[in-house]
Amino acid sequence: MELSLLIIFWYGILHAFGPDHLTAIADFSIGKNKRKTLLITSLFAIGHGLSLFIFAKVLESVAISEDILAYGDIVSATVIIAMGVYLLSMVATNRIQLRKHMHNGKEHIHIWFGKSHEHDSDTVAKTSSLSLGLLMGAGGVRGMLITLGAVQGGVVDFSLVAAFTVGVMLVFGAFGLVILYINEHFLGNLTNVRRAFATAGVISLVVGTNILIG
């Protein structure tokens, strides 16, 4: 059992390096503070693991063809493309805003979408990142089932999914820290913020399109 957990943990690490996952993390984490960045990456990983667990459990008892499973990749690609279109539309319509202010002797930067200044609520951040992880979990079902078949005859239990989720979370958390560094050191003015979101939008379109045609 220990070897099975180690293998599925390692698969979680490898799985998390997928360009679609890292692109999604970047899209949601740009411009966020440390707490929200770590919250987003953690809930994305949890949602991803939960989604794979549910799909894998269903597939234990229901025979589904490879053609149908391939639709999971289409779902992931569509989500990424939609995020890219949204970010680029925000840049094109000048709806990305930045404001600086001092609080307890420390400068704070707030970045938001829209014309008025509204703080993102924790509820919105939690719901968005968890939902995204759930949606994109559909794209990893085939790979996880192959791995489970190799380590435990295709039988899914919570410990294996937990090991997978921890592996994913490590990579997402590390990448989130990279985005946090960019947020703190390079997004100090509106021009750089809009460039960052435009870059993320273009990368999202490229990655999503590549998944669809790949």
Q: What's the whole-number mean pLDDT along residues 139-149?
A: 59
Mean pLDDT, to the nearest integer, of 147-153?
54
- One-letter amino acid of 89: S
pTM: 0.76
Question: pLDDT confidence of 199, banded at 50, 70, 90?
Answer: very high
pLDDT of residue 156: 64
| Measured distance CA(61)–CA(63) in Å, rounded | 7
SS3 category, 100: strand
Please tell me the least confidently modeled range out of 116-125, 131-140, 168-177: 116-125
Give the residue, 27 or 102, on which the prediction is more confident: 27
Per-residue confidence band for 79, with pLDDT thresholds at 50, 70 and 90? confident
Written as six digits, the tokens of 68 are 């149908």
Q: Answer left, alpha or beta for residue 73, where phi above 0 means left and psi between -120 and 50 means alpha.
A: alpha
Query: What confidence tier does 96 reach under pLDDT thresholds 50, 70, 90?
Result: confident
Domain boundary assignment for the chain: 2-213
Is the pLDDT score of 95 beyond 80?
Answer: yes
Stronger pLDDT, 72 or 170, i.e. the higher one: 170
pLDDT higher than threshold 60 for residue 24: yes
d(CA 59, CA 175): 31
DSSP string, 55-70: HHHHHHHS---HHHHT
Nearest Cα neighbor of 204 from 92, 80, 90, 89 is 80
